[in-house]
């Protein structure tokens, strides 16, 4: 019984590894552009965006968590809320590079994840990208400390697993492109929403205002940097996706 179980697990992992490490042909440009338009519609249509924004929040808080860990801070908890807000709690020095980098990472995180995804797609590993995202969500799940956060990460992970395991290769590739476009495009809108909230004085504890207190530079400066990075990631990522392939 145990031997059969281990053999079965080995077969499953082997199948996943083979699928993730095997390059697949890029879909037709018409499909790539259709996925871009679909992602843009999700970002621009507010009722749909309110639901899809949870994906951006996961990437936002994941970026806080990753940078906190890389800079030597102790990652304590991640919480994701039904209003699309989130909170990442880490322990360490209250000031200094680690705190600044951790605070900065959130709003630029989704765009940079999208940029990395575009690079993976350009290399031909669309299915590998889907499985990589599943792994990242599984790691994030280890630090989520509220029920809604657990539910949202599990749903996102289960959807990616279903696509990666059961759907055919062209559909998997199309989904990988749609996810990448959404991360690139969806990273920009929260920055604009942030400044709108700051203008109405409803975001006094925002990442930009925390950075202002940590660095002495005004919050508007940090919003501008967030926007520069996210728009830059969108432009470069779009070029990697639709531009000429490296030779």
Map residue 125 onto helix, strand or coil: coil
pLDDT of amino acid 226: 98
Average pLDDT, the chain: 94
Domain membership of residue 75 (yes or no) is yes
pLDDT above 70 coverage of the chain, percent: 96
The per-residue pLDDT for 11 is: 84
Which of the four pLDDT bands, split at 50, 70 and 90, describes residue 68? very high
Position 6 scores a pLDDT of 54
Mean pLDDT of 145-171: 97
152: pLDDT confidence band, cut at 50, 70 and 90?
very high
- pLDDT higher than threshold 90 for residue 246: no
Domain span including residue 204? 2-242
Tally of structural domains, the chain: 1
**Of 54, 114, 104, residue with least CA distance to 81:** 54
Within-domain flag for 108: yes
When pLDDT is cut at 50, 70 and 90, the band that residue 8 belongs to is confident
What residues contact 169, with CB distance under 8 A and at least 6 apart?
24, 127
Q: Is residue 196 domain-resident?
A: yes
pLDDT on residue 4 = 44
| 8 A C-beta contact, residue 121 and residue 240 | yes
Per-residue pLDDT at 114? 98
Q: What is the pTM of this model?
A: 0.94
Confidence band, pLDDT 50/70/90 cuts, at residue 13: confident
Residue 247 lies in a domain: no
Does a structural domain hold residue 107?
Answer: yes
What does the pLDDT look like over 219-243, one tens digit per residue? 999 999 999 999 999 999 999 999 8
Q: Which of 121-130, 141-150, 154-163, 201-210 has the lowest mean pLDDT?
A: 201-210
Residue 188 domain-assigned?
yes
Place 1 in a pLDDT band, splitting at 50, 70 and 90: very low
Structural domain contains residue 46:
yes
Q: What residues contact residue 183 under an 8 Å CB cut-off, 6+ apart? A: 55, 56, 59, 110, 111, 113, 114, 117
């Amino acid at each position: 019984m145990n031997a059969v179980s281990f053999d079965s697990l080995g077969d499953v992992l082997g199948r996943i590894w083979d699928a993730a490490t095997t390059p697949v042909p890029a879909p037709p440009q018409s499909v790539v552009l259709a996925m871009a338009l679909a992602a843009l519609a999700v970002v621009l249509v507010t009722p749909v965006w309110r639901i899809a924004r949870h994906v951006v929040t996961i990437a936002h808080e994941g970026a806080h968590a990753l940078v906190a860990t890389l800079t030597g801070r102790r990652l304590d908890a991640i919480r994701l809320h039904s209003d699309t807000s989130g909170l990442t709690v880490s322990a360490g020095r209250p000031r200094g590079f680690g705190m600044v980098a951790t605070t900065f990472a959130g709003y630029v995180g989704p765009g940079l994840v999208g940029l990395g995804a575009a690079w993976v797609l350009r290399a031909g590993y669309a299915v590998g990208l889907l499985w990589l995202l599943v792994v990242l969500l599984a790691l994030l799940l280890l630090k989520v400390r509220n029920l809604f956060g657990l539910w949202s990460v599990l749903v996102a992970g289960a959807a990616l697993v279903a696509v990666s395991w059961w759907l055919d290769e062209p559909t998997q590739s199309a989904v990988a492109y749609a996810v990448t476009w959404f991360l690139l495009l969806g990273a920009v809108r929260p920055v604009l929403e942030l400044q709108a909230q700051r203008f109405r004085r409803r975001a006094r504890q925002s990442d930009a205002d925390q950075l202002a207190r940590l660095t002495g530079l005004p919050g508007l400066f940090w919003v501008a940097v967030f926007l520069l990075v996210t728009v830059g990631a969108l432009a470069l990522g779009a070029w990697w996706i639709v531009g000429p392939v490296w030779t």
